[in-house]
Amino acid sequence: MMADDAFLMQMSLPELKNFLIERGIRVSGYRKNELLNLAREAFKQKLERKCNLADESARQLERRTVNGTVYPHPDSSDILWDTCLAQIPAIEAYDVQYYLKTKCLWTNDRLKKYKSDNSFRLHTNGHISDVKTAKLDSDYCYIRGLCTPEERQSADPYRVWILIQQDGTVVSGECTCVAGDGTCKHTAALLFGLQQFSQGQTDRTEIGVTDKMAKWTNPVRSTRPIQITNLDLRQQPDNRIQPMACNDMYRPVTDEKLNNRTEKEIYKLLKAEKLAACAAYTLSDSSDSEYEFEESVCENLIEYSKRFYTLNPNASFDEYVDALKSYFDRNLAIKISANSVNQSSSDVWYHQRAGRITASSVFNCLHFSGQNNNGHLVKQILGQKDSCMNSEFIPALVYGRKYEPKAREIYLETNGKIHKKLKYSAAGLVISDKLPFIGASPDGLIECECCLPGCIEIKCPYTHKEKTPKAAAESDSKNFELKNGTPVLRKNRNSPYFCQMLCQMAVTKRTYCDFILYTQSGIFSERVHFDEELWKSMEENIMLKIYLYHNDTGDRRVAC
């Protein structure tokens, strides 16, 4: 054992890494003393060689092979590199996270502390440079760059490249460092830089945009002066001393996202007064929102209800519903649906959902116990829940918006071979003609010559994105049950998914809804048929709990 230890102690860092790689042990992210301990353990367990470094060329070939297509090496003269990065795929944070977790074997704890990782500091300190791209075909491209070594900045930089799909999925990577297999900190640094670059390209608007090519720019280094008394040379640069709490810093307020309608009002006011205000550059004036909001959209349910009860304070519930039917007639309902097909990207959609029980809130309304101290259900129905959090930064929503079109495309392609002349159309907010205070926004409406009209509901669960659809369903016992070893949707009022789809079918008057579950490992779909009796009982239950709640004195109240 002493001889083995002496043999290992004489090894250089590259030799240690090669020794471990040959035995199938990852070496990325470890210092020399940690690698030495791993090598000692390998000797102790008498691990045999699983591969020979002579096979490195075969592994390199494997990293450049996708679905049977072998792409040329980035160093090949056949590759045409371009410094303009305007057309590179949009790399999101979860694309980087997925690669680091699956390829580089980062732990959840390391992912949480990524800002203190050496790879992230390589990016923020400007070690990545000369980034170029090369389009391989319609689906894949290369992106390469140079990474200056962290400790030997005068040495030749490492050459790093990644193979990336057009949807942002990182397939593989390589680096000229010792690790070489795309799991090193240099590859991670390039990914962090590309994610920030993509975000910068996405955030650009028409204001201030020039015709210059989108080229790579390194982060600007900055220094932060502090008082001498706060200096602590033992700490890492990122672990700065947090300021002590004081009265001047106490602000018990919650920052709210500016409502789109309010934003447009401010912009129109500035525009009408011809004020050269800086605020105008941050407010909405995109081509998608140039319509006059007031002229194209009527009162929403809350606004109309206030006006109705002001004029008719003693009106009964039936009179109120009749008035809603008269106001939100077929023509107006069609107009609202047409103006809200972009759903969460539409001002009309948010405006007209306010005050309505929608398909996504039906389950909560059904199981409302009468106690609502925190106002959660009220906020959900009144549309106030979204105002205190920006959905653009919620990973689950961002992930869903990115992969929902892909799931729909796969569904239509697969079912188009089964159903004759299958047609899809986007759906906005559909208002119930029977009870106009109920609405639904399915993920699409479908028609074919062999079936009656239906709708679709797509779920892309962020927490199960890496699982197979079957494993994802098995993890969700609230919405799925096992039948003969196969997960199927629960068809009862205790399933949020089923309640949502039942409401969508009732409001859109469709006989079925195709449920689609998408993960990055596959897709699952199941046709759910409308249950009229169950919906009728649910409808009555909702009215009793929410709109027909009476206290002991008989006064009409909204229960929630």
Residue type for position 447: E
41/76 same-domain check: no
Query: What pTM value is reported for the model?
Result: 0.52
State residue 106's pLDDT score: 87
Tell me the residue type at 200: G
Report if residue 151 sits inside a domain.
Answer: yes
Q: Would residue 191 count as lying in a domain?
A: yes
- Contacts of residue 475, defined as CB under 8 A and 6 or more positions apart, other chains included, come to 464, 467
Structural domain of residue 38, as residue ranges? 2-51
| Separation of alpha carbons 235 and 215, rounded Å | 35
Are 399 and 456 within one domain? yes
Is 12 in the same domain as 62?
A: no
- Inter-residue long-range contacts of 511-514, CB under 8 Å, 24+ positions, other chains counted: 511/452, 511/453, 511/454, 512/451, 512/452, 512/454, 512/455, 513/442, 513/454, 513/455, 513/456, 513/457, 514/411, 514/415, 514/446, 514/454, 514/455, 514/456, 514/457
Same domain membership, residue 401 and residue 265: no
Q: How far apart are CA 279 and CA 105, in angstroms?
A: 45
Both 187 and 280 in a single domain? no
pLDDT at 429: 94
Phi/psi of residue 285, each to 5°? -155, 35
Q: Strands 454-459 and 512-519, how do they pair?
A: parallel
* CA 88, chain centre distance (Å): 19
Residues 335 and 430 occupy one common structural domain: yes
Asked if the structure places residue 223 within a domain, the reply is no
Please classify residue 20 by burial: count the beta carbons closer than 10 Å to its beta carbon, then call 0-12 exposed, 13-18 middle and 19+ buried. buried
Looking at the structure, do residues 13 and 83 belong to the same domain, yes or no?
no
Q: What is the structure's pLDDT at 466?
A: 87
pLDDT tens, N- to C-terminus, the chain (560 residues): 555 677 778 777 777 877 887 777 777 667 788 888 888 888 888 877 765 555 666 777 888 888 888 888 888 888 889 888 888 888 888 889 889 988 888 888 888 888 888 889 888 888 899 999 999 988 899 999 999 887 776 778 899 999 999 888 999 999 988 777 888 899 999 999 998 888 777 554 433 334 455 777 766 655 567 777 776 665 555 555 555 556 555 555 544 555 555 666 676 676 666 665 555 555 554 444 444 444 455 788 988 989 998 999 898 888 988 999 999 999 999 999 998 888 887 888 888 898 899 999 999 888 877 666 666 777 778 776 544 445 555 788 888 888 999 999 999 999 999 999 999 999 999 999 999 999 999 999 999 999 999 999 999 999 898 899 999 999 999 999 988 888 899 999 999 999 999 999 999 999 999 999 999 889 999 999 999 999 999 988 877 766 554 333 334 444 44
Domains of the chain: total: 4
Tokens 């009796």 identify what position?
533
Other Cβ atoms less than 10 A from the Cβ of 462: the count is 15
- Please choose, from the candidates 463, 495, 459, the residue with its C-alpha nearest in 3D space to the C-alpha of residue 478: 495
Strands 522-529 and 480-483: unpaired
Instruction: Look up residue 169 and give its two tokens.
Output: 């999925």
Same structural domain for residues 369 and 501? Answer: yes
451 inside domain: yes
Instruction: Examine the domain organization and report whether 426 and 524 are in the same domain.
Output: yes
Structural domain ending residue among the three candidates 185, 203, 221: 203
531 with 455, same domain: the answer is yes
**To which residue do tokens 């998608």 refer?**
288
Assess if residue 432 is contained within a domain: yes
Going by C-alpha positions, the residue among 280, 321, 324, 276 that lies closest to residue 298 is: 324
Rounded Cα–Cα distance for residues 311 and 340 (Å): 30
Q: Which amino acid is at 183?
A: T
Q: What are the φ and ψ backbone dihedral angles of 331, each rounded to 5 degrees?
A: -65, -45
- Indicate whether 311 belongs to any domain: no
In a domain, 523, yes or no: yes
Residues 414, 526 within the same domain? yes
140 phi and psi angles, rounded to 5 deg: -135, 155
Is the Cβ–Cβ distance between 266 and 275 less than 8 Å? no
Tokens of 524: 């699952």
**Which of residues 181, 203, 225 is at a domain's end?**
203
Indicate whether 31 and 62 sit together in one domain: no
- Domain assignment of residue 110, yes or no: yes
**What does the alpha-carbon distance between residue 41 and residue 226 come to, in Å, rounded to a whole number?**
46
Give ∠ CA 163-164-165 in degrees, rounded to 5.
Answer: 135
